[in-house]
Amino acid sequence: MWISGIEAAKRRLGLLAVYDLSATPFFLAGSGWPEGVLFPWVVSDFSLMDAIECGIVKLPRVPVADNLPGQPEPLYRNLWKAIGKKMPKKTKGALPDPQKLPMELKTAIDALYGHYEKTFDLWQKEQVGIPPVFIVVCNNTTNSELLRDYIAGYEREDADGNLETVHGKCGLFSNFSTDGERLPRPRTVLIDSATLEAGGDIDKSFRDAHAAEIEAFRREQAERGMASDITDADVLREVMNTVGKRGRLGEQVRCVVSVSMLTEGWDANNVTHILGLRAFGTKLICEQVIGRALRRLSYDVDDDGFFRTEYADIMGIDGLNFSDGPRVAPPQPPRDIIGVRAVTPERDALEITFPRVQGYTADLPPDRLDADFSGLEPYVLTPEKVAATVVTMQGIVGATEILTLDYLKAQRNSTIAANIAKHMIFEKLRDANEAPRMHLFPAAKRIVNQWLNEGHLVTKGGTMPAQLLYRELADEVCDIIFGALIDKPGGERILRALLDPYNPLGSTRDVSFNTSKTTRYHPRPDKSHINWIITDSDWEDKLAAEIEQHPRVVAYAKNHNLGFEIPYLVEGSPRAYRPDFLIRLNTPEPTTLIVEVKGFRGHDAMLKADTARNKWVPAINRLGRYGRWGFAELRSVHDFGPELDAAITAMVQVEPA
């Protein structure tokens, strides 16, 4: 359109020269030229990097290091790469639960928002008059609405059909007061340029809350000789175009959640933070997004005649292209295939059977809750679990900034315990009619406080107890505490196992598959119903040899395609844990030991072991009809003998000589 207009002016008026002051005078990806190569007709180029180095714009700071080990680059440099597959797809139905956003995203928001709070306080102290602005750039409207709700709060229907307010995670961005009423001036707005172009509507409460500003905008339009009938799209576009401008509709906006915003000519100069939540595959897109934060707030010079340094802290925008090159694929010789089968009927005496568990339930007392945490190992929060908690932000010049989660220290243990107890009541402790047992809330809070105060939570690497309020971690903690519930008089776990109603019992008799795996213990082991022991490491080979030689072992099986699984919870999602070995012991009553080999032990291994030891085993033993079961985790990978012998001795209850 611009070119057509210029050509029309040239034909009508005559033009001597046309100067194109494009911000991106280079070829894009897919043009047939290498991306970033300048157009051949460019006379002079002053790139974005030149502007940054000269201080004409703000200095962008991006993550250059964090405390998450084993990563080739800082996690928050290219956040979408880590969480893109975990985010919900675009949908026209009901929105997913905002509390179920990926934990890496929640931690990134906490880290960047904690720094925003400091910036906001500094601007208040310096009486700037307008707030700094935090931008979230999303890939679609589903994710933008989820982020807006998570950050600024939202309303939902409770069990009785009444509206209740869920407060946002970021207090300065909240659109609701502490008593749940919607604020007259929203602090967070969602801008969808595609909706604006299509003439979409905006939220009625926003329009009503800004009746005076909208009327002023209507008068301004009339004075300019433009239409006075202002549509909702006009209002939202006015909000976007006046962010940071005193006396205008967008003056006090603090957070902008946007979709397709790159098509807009946006000139707000009070943007200080950007969080990118989409793929940034080209140099052009990266420059356009970063440019939203680079307009300076002030062009006044200091005593030395230079602009004062201004910063923009940016996460999730890498600026690099990740492309995979061609790979040579030489022909591969065929691999040996072996058949793994149960040896029947010759070895039926070595058969091992096991219950197939789908879940757990508890026979809760009507008026009390008690828990025994003595058998639990600590619940350890590390950056590997919740994402980076210390991030170094740095630009090509200027000061370095360290982002942490220190602002979360303000959350008291009693507040954390109350929120986790509420989550437990609504998610775990429901009656036969699926109604939450609200009368158990005081007892649940007492138990959560007990768990916190007895040192069962360990935080490392800058993680904070307040992160337990992430829904995924709250689910895990509630699941652990739920497994520790006991019957006070007997002190026994009160869980019951829920078995597969159609196939409650599994057996080594059902094993039959082919494999080309080269890691396998010798054929026809003496004490196994199965003809091969298929292993995953040399550790398991060594353990299989130890099990074969132990005098107390009657039979054993490697849990490979055996179908033995222990259900457990990770980040609120159900998972299936497959321990390494099942061992049947020489005892008067049927006794089976579950054995796991673990060299490196992370957070997920702790959840598996805790579920097996404190939920699955007590729940099955309580049923009584599947014999006696136990669980052992072996970690001495260089010598399994002593640990294995100790675990078997504990199960058979042999008194030492």
Residue 575, token pair as written in the block: 């998972």
CA gap 275, 135 in Å, rounded: 6
3-state secondary structure (DSSP) of residue 437: coil
CA distances to 112, 138, 313, 399, 404 from 117, rounded to whole Å, are: 9, 22, 13, 19, 12
Residue 324 in this model has a pLDDT that exceeds 50: no
Task: With beta carbons less than 8 A apart as the criterion, state whether 241 and 104 touch.
Answer: no
3-state secondary structure (DSSP) of residue 144: helix
Query: Which carries the bigger pLDDT value, residue 537 or residue 224?
Result: 537
Length reported for the chain? 657
CA gap 343, 248 in Å, rounded: 82
Q: Outline where 86-210 has alpha helix (H).
A: 103-125, 141-152, 193-197, 204-209
How far from chain centre, in Å, is Cα 150? Answer: 13
CA gap 137, 107 in Å, rounded: 17
Query: CA neighbours within 13 Å on the CB side: how many for 176?
Result: 19
Task: With beta carbons less than 8 A apart as the criterion, state whether 555 and 343 touch.
Answer: no
Q: Where does the pLDDT of residue 329 fall: very low under 50, low under 70, confident under 90, or very high at 90 and above?
A: very low
Q: How many other C-beta atoms lie within 10 A of the C-beta of residue 582?
A: 22
- For 328-354, the DSSP string reads -----PPPP-EEEEB-TTTTGGG--EE
Residue whose C-alpha is closest to residue 321's, from 34, 32, 59, 47: 34
Q: Are β-strands 188-192 and 357-362 bridged in parallel, bridged antiparallel, or unpaired?
A: unpaired
Looking at the chain, the number of H-run helices and the number of E-run strands are 18, 28
- SS3 letters across 266-323: CCCCCEEEEEEECCCCCHHHHHHHHHCCCCCCCCCECCCCCECCCEEEEECCCCCCCC
Determine the residue type at 337: I
CA distances to 3, 177, 184, 187, 194 from 181, rounded to whole Å, are: 51, 5, 9, 14, 30
- 181-188 mean pLDDT: 84
Output the pLDDT for position 318.
Answer: 77
Least reliable range by pLDDT among 199-203, 211-215, 644-648:
199-203
CA gap 618, 630 in Å, rounded: 9
Arithmetic mean of pLDDT over the chain: 83
Q: Where does the pLDDT of residue 271 fall: very low under 50, low under 70, confident under 90, or very high at 90 and above?
A: very high
CA gap 613, 201 in Å, rounded: 55
Output the pLDDT for position 657.
Answer: 37
Beta strand spans in 454-565 (E): 457-459, 486-487, 492-493, 495-499, 505-507, 512-515, 520-521, 533-534, 553-558
- 388-400 mean pLDDT: 86
Q: Where does the pLDDT of residue 397 fall: very low under 50, low under 70, confident under 90, or very high at 90 and above?
A: confident
CA gap 165, 168 in Å, rounded: 9
CA distances to 47, 310, 399, 552 from 52, rounded to whole Å, are: 9, 11, 14, 73
Query: Which carries the bigger pLDDT value, residue 251 or residue 457?
Result: 457
Residue whose C-alpha is closest to residue 194's, from 278, 101, 261, 284: 261
- 586-608 mean pLDDT: 86
CA gap 383, 479 in Å, rounded: 21
Burial of 514 (0-12, 13-18, 19+ CB in 10 A): exposed
Q: Where does the pLDDT of residue 429 fall: very low under 50, low under 70, confident under 90, or very high at 90 and above?
A: confident
- Selection from 168-177, 196-205, 532-541 with the highest mean pLDDT: 168-177
Digit-coded pLDDT (tens) for 439-465? 888 989 999 999 999 889 999 999 999
Residue with tokens 């009927």: 345
Task: With beta carbons less than 8 A apart as the criterion, state whether 296 and 269 touch.
Answer: yes
Task: With beta carbons less than 8 A apart as the criterion, state whether 529 and 343 touch.
Answer: yes
Output the pLDDT for position 262.
Answer: 57
Query: CA neighbours within 13 Å on the CB side: how many for 34?
Result: 2
Digit-coded pLDDT (tens) for 286-297? 777 888 888 888
Output the pLDDT for position 327.
Answer: 39
412 Cβ contact partners less than 8 Å away, ≥ 6 residues apart: none
Digit-coded pLDDT (tens) for 624-639? 889 999 999 988 777 8
CA gap 370, 485 in Å, rounded: 6
Q: Return the ∠ at Cα 81 (arms to 76 and 84), rounded to 5°.
A: 110
Q: Where does the pLDDT of residue 321 fall: very low under 50, low under 70, confident under 90, or very high at 90 and above?
A: very low
Least reliable range by pLDDT among 42-51, 219-228, 447-456:
219-228
Question: Percent of the chain, pLDDT > 90?
Answer: 28
Output the pLDDT for position 158.
Answer: 74
- Work out whether the CA dihedral 586, 588, 590, 592 comes out positive or negative: negative
Output the pLDDT for position 142.
Answer: 84
Residue whose C-alpha is closest to residue 123's, from 303, 254, 294, 313: 254
